Amino acid sequence: MSLTFDLHAHSNVSDGLLTPVELVEHAAAHKVDVLALTDHDDTAGLNIAREAAQRLGVQLINGVEISVTWKKRTLHIIGLKIDPEYAPLKTGLAEIRAGRHHRAVGMAASLDKAGIPGSLEGAYEYAQEGIISRTHFARFLVNSGVAKDNKAVFKNYLVKGKPGFFPHEWASMEDALSWIIGSGGVAVIAHPGRYDLGRTNMLLLLEEFRALGGAAIEVVTGSHTVDQYTEFAKYAHQFDLKSSLGSDYHGKGISFMEMGRLPALPSNCVPVWHDWPEAV
């Protein structure tokens, strides 16, 4: 019997709607056997999720999704099987989270200028104890009637050239990979099809990622089209990278994809889990 993997999902420690425990329960209900909790720039949910995972028979993989600036673009690098106690990783993520607060203040100032007050407090109310992200600003903008839905927010606000955008420098790719690999984990490029890099930059990215010890790219993800599964399976093959699969689940209504609904990796892919004990 083959196992169902989902190696990309968010709890409310970052910008998901479910608590880490509820997320594991959701995964179990959707027949996910191996789940990676990959909150943005934070690992605080892992210990909380582990107890629920043991109770429900879900194999939990320690994960994180690190925000990176590469060639002035924001990329997301996932670490799987990381050690959340590894000091350089811990310190690095804490710095990114501090930067998130600074960015949020700038975003709110930009929204203020556009005649939309109260967004900093509003967004933090949704973020609660977790990190502050554009998703929380989006919830504020939708629930206060400024925008119709999440899609409208990411079209008309919070993106380059629109109210609420504030430029920000995240971690470098070198640092993110050194934290992940140094902690014993494997590095995966999240949703490569979402970056709109063009072929030349995509080739440069994959070359550099591989040279820095990167292990895999997401081939099947909630934010890829079926054609992109094939496209990125080819890139993985070309660069001798393994392939990953994950829903990028954030919760009902704000997800790219429900859990447990993704198709299998294309047959020419080597799964990132091919040599993991969880896979047997």
Q: Quote the CA–CA distance of 194 and 119 in Å, as a whole number.
A: 27
Footprint of Mn ion on 158-197 (CB under 5 A): 190
Residue with smaller CB distance to ligand AMP, 40 or 224: 40
For 18-34, letters b (16+ CB in 10 Å) and e give: bbbbbbbbbbbebebbb
Interface with ligand AMP includes 133 (CB under 6 A)? yes
Q: Quote the CA–CA distance of 67 and 10 in Å, as a whole number.
A: 14
Handedness of CA 108, 170, 205, 220 (dihedral sign): negative
Q: Mask 3-32, x = binds ligand AMP (CB under 6 A)? A: ------------x-----------------
Q: Mask 231-250, x = binds ligand AMP (CB under 6 A)? A: -------------------x
For 114-146, letters b (16+ CB in 10 Å) and e give: eebeebbebbbebbeebbbbbbbbbbbbbeeeb
Q: Quote the CA–CA distance of 120 and 12 in Å, as a whole number.
A: 18
3-state secondary structure of 74: strand
Binding partner of 154, given Mn ion, ligand AMP, none, CB within 5-8 angstroms per partner class: ligand AMP
Number of residues that bind ligand AMP (CB under 6 A): 10
Instruction: Give me the DSSP letters along 114-131.
Output: TT---HHHHHHHHHTTS-
Q: Give the residue, chosen from 26, 81, 134, 242, that forms a contact with ligand AMP under the rule CB under 6 A.
A: 134
Long-range contacts formed by 156-162: CB under 8 A, 24+ apart:
157/111, 158/107, 158/134
3-state secondary structure of 112: helix
Footprint of ligand AMP on 34-53 (CB under 6 A): 40
Q: Quote the CA–CA distance of 193 and 180 in Å, as a whole number.
A: 22
Q: Mask 50-89, x = binds ligand AMP (CB under 6 A)? A: -----------------x----------------------
What minimum distance in Å lies between the beta carbon of 10 and Mn ion?
6
* Residue whose beta carbon is closest to ligand AMP: 133
Q: Give the residue, chosen from 137, 214, 248, 259, that forms a contact with Mn ion under the rule CB under 5 A.
A: 248
Residue with smaller CB distance to Mn ion, 113 or 136: 136
Tokens 């939309």 found at: 116
The alpha-helical segments, DSSP class H, found in 57-157 are: 87-113, 119-127, 134-143, 150-156
Q: Mask 59-98, x = binds Mn ion (CB under 5 A)? A: ------x----------x----------------------
* Choices 99-107, 116-124, 149-157, 240-248 (CB under 5 A): range interacting with Mn ion: 240-248
What minimum distance in Å lies between the beta carbon of 66 and Mn ion?
10
What minimum distance in Å lies between the beta carbon of 135 and Mn ion?
5
How open is the CA angle 163-169-171, to the nearest 5 degrees? 140
* Residues that bind ligand AMP in the complex, under the rule CB under 6 A: 15, 40, 67, 133-135, 150-151, 154, 250
* Residues that bind Mn ion in the complex, under the rule CB under 5 A: 15, 65, 76, 190, 248
